[in-house]
Each structure stands twice: as structure tokens, then as C-alpha cells.
Structure 1
Amino acid sequence: MKEHGKLFNTAMVQAFLEGRKNQTRRVVDAHNSLVDGNGISKKRWEAAGFDLANATIDNGPSPAGNPGPYLKATCAEGTTHRIYSRVQPGDRIYVKEAHAFVPEPAYRRSTGIIQTINPDHDYEACVYRENFDRARSFPWRPSMFMPRWAARLVFDVVSVRLEKLKDMSDEDAQAEGFEGDENGDAFLHFWNLWDSVNGKGSWDANPPVWIYDLQPVGINNETVPSHG
């Protein structure tokens, strides 16, 4: 089993905490993919010039017997390659979110404040920006700097799928954590967020995406901060 830290914004952290999110999509790129079974740097990925727009999706297995799904794509040199997900069923994903480090006793008796203790330094604890309903404002650390020990949200990867972004359904959008409005259109809300996170026009580009179906590990209602 491998563990993979993934960045999530405030809205998606809240969706996890409320139990509304059990799926996430990531653009196929060097960070989350293997090429012909091997890792690849961002520089080499960009130099390869994979034609992802015209790549074909194969659910596997490959001719060599490797399980799918994988993306069959040609590169700028004209050779064809199989692109697999780094994340596999049975792996775990932990959520990297905005956070701060505080002395462990600081919120020990505070109702509704979740803190995770550093196992290597038991006087240090991590608190989380999302749902931190106190007046004090910390110099919150960006999600990307969260160490593994501080993660409060951890998920087993149940399955890994591959499809074009626009092939998602409204049910998928709900599994991504979006609630429908009076028109039941969770799909539109996901679309808007995707463009805001990945850049204007990124939805229309319709890239291939890895889809991770998730099952929470050790998460229950008692871990959700109280607003009472």
C-alpha cells in the first residue's frame, strides 16, 4: 500500500467533513501518472509532447497483462505509450489542507477544536483552518506544506477509473461533494469550480482525468468540529 498526499481547497475539505464527498478527479499529468510503468519528471513529460486530446482510453489489461485502466497516447516523436495512474486501488490518499502548528496544550480543553499531535514532538499539535470557529487568526500554512502526520482526513482508494472530464454525470458531481440547487444541477457547480481552480477554459479543454473512488478511514462524526 502506498500513501499519496493530495491538495484540496476549503470547499472540498468541508465536503469531506460533512460526508458528501467520496470521489475526486485529477488531470492526467506527470505528477500522478506512470509512463509505460515508470515515473517521469515534469520536464520529460513536457518534452515528450503526449497527444492527450486524441489519446484512447483502455480499461485493460495491457498486452503484457498489466491491469488498466490506461491511456494510450502518442508522443511528439510518433511512438505510442501507455500511461497509468500512480494511485492504485488499495492505496491511501490523505488530504492536505490549510493548517497551523500550535503548542499541544493550547486547545486541549476547547470544545470543537480538533488538533492532531505530532508523534515525534508531543508538545506540538496541528489545527485546521476549515471550521476553526474562534476569533484568533493564525498565519495559516498553505495546504502543500502539510506533513503526513498532521492529516486528519485519510481515505482508502476503492477504485481508479479513467475518462474524459465532460463524461461525468450529475451523480458523479454529487459524489464530488456538490449539492444540487432547485434545478438539481450539481454538475454545473462542479464545472464552475473546475474552471476556477484549473483556469478559465480548462473545462472546455475536456482533458482525460483519473477518478479516485474513496472510502474514509477512521473518520466519524466525533472528528467533525462542533459549532455549538
Structure 2
Amino acid sequence: MKERPILFNTAMVQAILSGNKTQTRRIVKPQPEVCDDARGGHWWPSSDVQSMVHVEKELQDYEGFWRGLIDDCNPFGAKGDRLWVRESWYQKGTVGRTYPDDDEYQFFGHRQAAYVADGDAPKDWTFKKRPSIHMPRWACRLILEITNIRIERLQNITTEDAKAEGFDYSTHPSAIEMGYAIGAKTNFRFTWEQIYGQNEWNKNPWVWVVEFKVIQGGAA
């Protein structure tokens, strides 16, 4: 079993904590290119196997049979590997507590974070908000286990997958901002464009689809 860090913004961390998010999509880098021979399909350069990999064949999940190279080539890991979540956070004085950057916690006043970081904390703690990329392993409160991973086009996301991404109807902030209820898939698209740019949905990039379950932190 291997363990790797993964970044999530505050809204997505909250969705994981509530039990509403069990998938994440990340853009494949570099993007696969069209094969220039009779086989068709797309090639993707894998540094792990030092070779060009055929996306439609070697990077697919064959439901328990021959899995191609999907487990070896993606940057997140295989089934059973773990991802520890990096999120924006706070540190406070010498109390020995970390403060996740969400609405449930305040790093000043009478409210305090609900968990204590594992391991020895550094002595120079401050009230300064720290970006997710700088979160050390000892401050992590969420650990995920990969249950499946695949590669697909962004626009292939289904309504059920959009819900698994943590999106639903008018309860999501993007729907409220637009002033009316929208479906889960449209909600996902709207948020994707907020994060990556107005035309990024239309580009329909290849994405890694990582399915996971929470094994530390999150909903009871």
C-alpha cells in the first residue's frame, strides 16, 4: 500500500466530511494525442513505464479481469492505496491544534478545532492562514482509500457521477448564485468552469476519475 497527498479546496473538503463526495476528477497531464496509425484511439506518454500507452486499451478498468496498465500509470495509485488530504489550514500558538479552513471552525474566539494533529508540532506556530500545498502530513485530518480509478473524457460524466462529485440541485452555492435550481451535472460543469476557465468544459479534456472512501475523518 502506498500513500500520496492530494489537494482539495474548502468546498470539496466539506462535501467529503458530509459524506456527499466520493469521486474526484483531475486533468490528465499531458493530454493524450490521437494515434497516427491504423489502430486509432489515443496515445499517452507514461513516465512510469517509459512508453507511450494506448488510452482506450491499456488505461481502462476491465471490471476485475485484465486491468491493463491503469494501476501502474496514473499519478494517484491503485485500489487500496491511500490519499491524505491537503487543505488550507491554520496553526495556533502552542495549543497543539490545527484549524481547517471551513465554516465550522474559527481560529480566534471561543470556538476551537475538533481534532488534534498527530505527531510533534513545530514550536513556531502562528495564527497565519496556510495554503493547502504547505500542509504537512502530521496536520492532515482526512485520509482516503482509492476504491477505483479510470480515465475518461470530462463530458462523459453522468448525473450519478456528478452527485458522487458532491453536486446536487439548488442546495449547492452555484445554483443559488445563478438564481434557480440546476441539475447535478450542470452544477458540476458550472463549478468546473469557475475553477479552470470559461471554455474548459467545451475542450472536453481527458481526466483521471478517482473513486474513494474515507478511512479517517469525515462523516460517522
- TM-score, length of structure 2 as denominator length: 0.69
Give the whole-Å Cα distance in 2 for the aligned partners of 1:17 and 1:171.
Answer: 19
Secondary structure of the equivalent of 1:20?
A: coil
- Is 1:140 the counterpart of 2:129? The answer is yes
- Is 1:95 the counterpart of 2:94? The answer is no
The 4+ residue runs of structure 1 with deviation greater than 4 A are 122-126
1:133-161 per-position Cα deviation (integer Å, ceiling 9, x unaligned): xxxxx431111111111111111001111
Question: Quick one: structure 1 residues 5 and 153, their matched pair in 2 at CA, closer, same or farther if it must change by over 3 Å?
Answer: same
Question: Quick one: structure 1 residues 180 and 147, their matched pair in 2 at CA, closer, same or farther if it must change by over 3 Å?
Answer: same
The residue type equivalent to 1:9 in the other structure is: N
Aligned residues: 181
Give the whole-Å Cα distance in 2 for the aligned partners of 1:147 and 1:207.
Answer: 31
Paired position in structure 2 for 1:77: none
Give the whole-Å Cα distance in 2 for the aligned partners of 1:183 and 1:111.
Answer: 34
Give the whole-Å Cα distance in 2 for the aligned partners of 1:156 and 1:122.
Answer: 28
Paired position in structure 2 for 1:76: none
Give the whole-Å Cα distance in 2 for the aligned partners of 1:124 and 1:38.
Answer: 42
Question: Quick one: structure 1 residues 178 and 60, their matched pair in 2 at CA, closer, same or farther if it must change by over 3 Å?
Answer: closer
8 A contact 1:68–1:84 mirrored in 2: no
Paired position in structure 2 for 1:179: 168
1:156-210 per-position Cα deviation (integer Å, ceiling 9, x unaligned): 0011111111001111011001122385601111111111112221111111111
Paired position in structure 1 for 2:40: none
Q: Is there any run of 5+ residues in structure 1 with no aligned partner, and where?
A: 41-49, 71-82, 127-137, 223-228
- Is 1:16 the counterpart of 2:6? The answer is no
Q: Is there any run of 5+ residues in structure 2 with no aligned partner, and where?
A: 31-43, 99-109, 171-179
- Is 1:160 the counterpart of 2:149? The answer is yes
Structure 1 residue 34, shift from structure 2 partner: 7.2
The residue type equivalent to 1:171 in the other structure is: E
1:52-71 per-position Cα deviation (integer Å, ceiling 9, x unaligned): 9xx7422268xxx983365x
Question: Quick one: structure 1 residues 210 and 220, their matched pair in 2 at CA, closer, same or farther if it must change by over 3 Å?
Answer: closer
Question: Quick one: structure 1 residues 2 and 15, their matched pair in 2 at CA, closer, same or farther if it must change by over 3 Å?
Answer: same
8 A contact 1:34–1:84 mirrored in 2: no
Q: Which of 46, 55, 72 pairs up with 1:35?
A: 46
Secondary structure of the equivalent of 2:15?
A: helix
Question: Quick one: structure 1 residues 192 and 125, their matched pair in 2 at CA, closer, same or farther if it must change by over 3 Å?
Answer: same
Paired position in structure 2 for 1:211: 209
Question: Quick one: structure 1 residues 39 and 23, their matched pair in 2 at CA, closer, same or farther if it must change by over 3 Å?
Answer: farther
Secondary structure of the equivalent of 2:129?
A: coil
Give the whole-Å Cα distance in 2 for the aligned partners of 1:66 and 1:37.
Answer: 19
Structure 1 residue 13, shift from structure 2 partner: 1.1
Q: Which of 86, 95, 100 pairs up with 1:105?
A: 95
Give the alignment's Cα RMSD to 1 decimal.
3.4
Question: Quick one: structure 1 residues 162 and 22, their matched pair in 2 at CA, closer, same or farther if it must change by over 3 Å?
Answer: same
- TM-score, length of structure 1 as denominator length: 0.66
Structure 1 residue 114, shift from structure 2 partner: 2.2
Secondary structure of the equivalent of 2:201?
A: coil
Give the whole-Å Cα distance in 1 for the aligned partners of 2:183 and 2:112.
Answer: 33
Give the whole-Å Cα distance in 2 for the aligned partners of 1:142 and 1:152.
Answer: 15
Secondary structure of the equivalent of 1:211?
A: strand
